[in-house]
Each structure stands twice: as C-alpha cells, then as structure tokens.
Amino acid sequence: MSAVNSPPSMSKSLRVLAALLGYPDALMRGYLPEMSALLCEECALSPSRGSELHALIDALQRGDPLQTEAAYVELFDRGRATSLHLFEHVHGDSRERGPAMIDLGQTYEKAGLILAEGELPDYLPAVLEFVSTQPPDAAKAFLGEMAHILNALFGALQRRNSPYASVLGALLDLAGEQARPIVPVAEESLDESWAEPVVFDGCSVRGQGQLGQTQAIHVVQPLQPPRPSRATGAQANPQSGVVA
C-alpha cells in the first residue's frame, strides 16, 4: 500500500529541469522536444508552472543559437547572484568549500554515480541529476534543504526578467516550498571581484586609502591552507542522467 500524502514521482521532471539549466548548445537544444513531452507525461508540476517552462523551451528552440549561448554565459557566469554553483552562495571562497565539495562528491559515489570530467559537484544541474535518482520523499526533502539557495537564485533571475526563473520556481514547487524572492546584498561582478588594483596608484576599493592618508592595521591569524578538492563533476543529460 502506498503511503498517504506521498509526493508524486518527479524523477523525469527533475532531469528535464537539470537539462534546462545546462549550457544551451546544439546537443542540448536537440533534446528540447523530448523535454517538453516528459514534463507533460509526468505532470508533477502545476499547469501554470508547466506553461512557463514550455515558454522557456519554445524560446530556446526559436532563439538564435549564438545569441542564446551568449545570453546564458552572461546570465549564469558573470555574477555570483546567479551562479549555478551552490557552494558559491553558501561558502563563497572560504576554505570550507573544498571539504564540502569532497563530501558531496562522496555522496554521489555512494549512490553509484560518477561525475563527468570538468564539472564540480555543487553545479546545480549535477545536483538535480543526483536528486532525480532518489525516492520521491527523499528527493522532496533534499530540495527542501536547498530552498533558501533556490529562492535566492529565483529572486536574482526574476530581477533580470529571465525566463529561467521558471526553472527555479518549479524546483521550489517540487520541494513543497513557496517561491519567495530573496533580495541579496549588492554584488560586484566576478571580473570586478578579481580585479587587481592599479600598481602604485595609492588607492583601491578594498580598504586602501588615498596616498598619505592614515590607515588602520588589522592583525589576523594566518589561514590554514584549504584541503585540496578531489571532486569533478557531470553534465546533465535528459536521457541518461549523471554519467555512471
């Protein structure tokens, strides 16, 4: 006898959502008709959310390939607020990020999944591929644990008027959570965050004052070197899932 109030199957929908968040190259776009059919077949999402996702799929199918790919890079690879690497939102560049990567990679290995070369374990499409292999109750709970990150991404994408916000909204729906956009602290672009101050210019935006101005000296304990990450990642595939 099936459990009362057990969540419906969402495995196919999770794989479709993982694929939709992947880089929209020719291979990915070739699967778009199948993705649309799988969403209709499983019916794990509300009609309104399904309509949003079908609109995204249609836009990816009809859009100019080069412009679609360039827009994806600009959206997901040029700022922390919309990064699809989950630990970017949790650990940033702190030394906790390496061990967290290793732990997540080991979770995949215990489930019999091996991540493809060149991908990190915290990449959201790879995480969703893993979640899609879990029973509905476990999948829903796993998504619920990520709800605060998913809401942050949802809000960031909504502020950019991006149709990709529908994917995050769908994930929150599957988690049984309400999509509540989170307003983040103002961020700088990744290019700006890694920019070097002008040599001998006498000032920078990171705590240096004007030449000749008194500056406070802060003494801190030296950081321990981070544990090296041994993890690599996987590319989403709407048919096969995470590479085994």
Average pLDDT estimate for 191-197: 47
pLDDT digits (tens, 9 = 90+) for 1-29: 344 566 679 999 999 999 999 999 999 99
Single out the residue of 150, 128, 147 nearest to residue 139, CA to CA.
128
Average pLDDT of span 113-119: 78
User: pLDDT: is 40 or 98 the higher one?
Assistant: 40
167: Cβ contacts below 8 Å, ≥ 6 apart: 17, 20, 21, 53, 56
pLDDT band at 218 (very low <50, low <70, confident <90, very high): very low
End-to-end CA distance of the chain: 32
Quick one: the chain helix, strand, coil %, rounded to 5?
50, 0, 50
Is the pLDDT reported for residue 94 higher than 90?
A: no
Q: What is the mean pLDDT of residues 219-234?
A: 42
What pLDDT, on a 0 to 100 scale, did the predictor assign at position 65? 97
Q: What average pLDDT does range 64-91 have in this prediction?
A: 89
Let me know: does 177 contact 169? Beta carbons within 8 Å. no
pLDDT of residue 200: 41
Residue 107 pLDDT class (50, 70, 90 cuts): confident
d(CA 31, CA 162): 21
Q: What does the pLDDT read at residue 51? A: 96
The pLDDT value recorded for residue 178 is 86
Q: Looking at residue 164, what is its pLDDT? A: 98
Biggest distance spanned by C-alpha atoms of the chain: 78
pLDDT-based confidence at residue 184 (cuts at 50, 70, 90): low
